[in-house]
Amino acid sequence: MELKKELKILFWIIVFFLFAYYMPLEIGDFRTAIIASLDLTRWYAREHVILCLIPAFFIAGVIAVFVNQAAVIKYFGANAKKWLSYSIASVSGTILAVCSCTILPLFSSIHKRGAGIGPAVAFLYSGPAINILAIILTARILGWEIGLARIIGAVVFAVIIGLIMSLIYRKEEKVKAEEQMNVEVPPEARPLWQTSLHFFILVLILIVANWGEPAEGVTTGFWHFIWSNKWTIVALLGVFFVYSLIDILKINWQWVALASIPVLASSWFTANPVIPFLLAIAGLSVITLLHGGENREWTLSTWDFAKQILPLLALGVIVAGFLLGSTHGDTDIPGIIPDKWITSMVGGNSLLANLFASVIGAFMYFATLTEIPILQGLLASGMGKGPALALLLAGPSLSLPNMLVIRSVMGTQKTVVYALLVVVMATISGLVFGAI
């Protein structure tokens, strides 16, 4: 085993050396792809890590520490009633405005707490696929037919993929079911409603802080109201969160007040909301670590998720940017795979067009809601409606960064099976939708 480990290290050293030695920097397309990779990585760091991933890590920490394992096993465990576990898992994404990467800490958390492979995978798929913000925008911008097809496809996908995964790995599930029959779970440290309140305050902060800009020309309505007042709403949610820290987690109010001072001061002196958000995260980490007990475990668990997931996500974003380019806002830098190749392959409603759209969607990284303007541009360039739906059903729930992390949670084989199921289901759905 020691020799195998050393040979593996040697192999990767050789690979990196050969890549560096033969790097074709004189080729313009290669240089552009490098720029696209760096641009996507910078954008991801600026727009996604602080406001999206870090809150998701803390939410995952809540599940790992504060949510009684019995609750996870009851609703998602191997012995749970299938109609109940799959129903909850397949629609849970409607309350989470998350992308394929932000769902990962939550998936990892319920997986570690004993969720069965079927419900856990259904939750993993449904989270990014059917968040309510994406559904509304899809119907508004791409048409109600695609919006409705996305809802139906995502819910059905989540259940079918989960059931197939559970069937394929039924022997493992049987062993898990037998183990969970004998699990002795300690009683809840606090009433369930208190844990739920603390959890949903964090979820609402995550959703509102990442609320997408309304469509061009929209200046009224609920969507625009939340967008134009989102940081005021986040501040109000912060007040409820302070209450939760003091009354539910029993952290000394003087500590909470001391941690709040830099947050309030920075919000007064700077217009950049990220700074007080970062200070709030730092203050929360310090007071929970110093308080000890479950509160300390919460932050340490959050850190464990960050250590496991962030390096793999960073690698995945870099590679995805290099291969497929950087597309966000007004930026569109092509990767090493030319955009015209992709556009030419997704016209019409052939099997190849739908399969290609599914595969590209599975490897490309989409932040929350960004798949919609990208698809709008592709449809305008001649993309068929079938491949558009295929990309919508495969893209938001899968990505290269996402697959690297899933592999670290449930292994290479299960990750490959899951990705293939998503691609096949998306391809079939695109073919059917395009033929209607």
Per-residue model confidence as pLDDT tens digits over 207-223: 888 777 776 666 777 87
In this prediction, residues 413-435 reach a mean pLDDT of 90
Give yes or no for a contact between 362 and 394, defined as CB atoms under 8 angstroms apart: yes
Is the pLDDT at 345 greater than 80? The verdict is no
Model pLDDT, residue 434: 82
Exposed e or buried b per residue across 103-116, where buried means at least 16 C-beta atoms within 10 angstroms of its C-beta: bbbbbbbbbbbbbb
User: Around Cβ 384, how many Cβ atoms within 10 Å?
Assistant: 21
Among the ranges given (289-293, 322-326, 385-389), the one the predictor scored with the smallest mean pLDDT: 322-326
Nearest to 300 by CA among 46, 4, 61: 61
Supply the pTM of this predicted model: 0.74
The residue with greater pLDDT, 91 or 209, is: 209
DSSP structure string for 135-196? HHHIIIII-HHHHHHHHHHHHHHHHHHHHHHHHHTHHHHHHHHHHHHT--PPPPSS-HHHHH
Is the pLDDT at 141 greater than 90? The verdict is no
Strand intervals (E) in 304-386: 326-328, 331-333
The domain locations on the chain are: 31-180+190-435
Please give the single-letter amino acid code of residue 275: I
User: Six-digit token pair at 387?
Assistant: 């491949």
Is the pLDDT at 129 greater than 80? The verdict is no
Give yes or no for a contact between 314 and 404, defined as CB atoms under 8 angstroms apart: no
Tell me what the pLDDT averaged over the chain comes to.
Answer: 81
Non-local (6+) Cβ contacts of 67 within 8 A are 113, 195, 199
Residue whose entry in the numeric block shows the structure tokens 């793999």: 312
The residue with greater pLDDT, 241 or 435, is: 241
Non-local (6+) Cβ contacts of 370 within 8 A are 327, 328
Model pLDDT, residue 138: 73
Model pLDDT, residue 258: 93
Nearest to 324 by CA among 401, 427, 405: 401
Give yes or no for a contact between 176 and 219, defined as CB atoms under 8 angstroms apart: no
Model pLDDT, residue 373: 65
In this prediction, residues 222-228 reach a mean pLDDT of 84
Model pLDDT, residue 40: 84
Is the pLDDT at 244 greater than 90? The verdict is yes
Give yes or no for a contact between 173 and 121, defined as CB atoms under 8 angstroms apart: no
Band of residue 93 on the pLDDT scale cut at 50, 70, 90: low
Model pLDDT, residue 52: 81
Nearest to 403 by CA among 42, 98, 60, 101: 101
Is the pLDDT at 144 greater than 80? The verdict is no
pLDDT in tens, 254-277: 999 999 999 999 988 888 888 999
In this prediction, residues 62-80 reach a mean pLDDT of 71
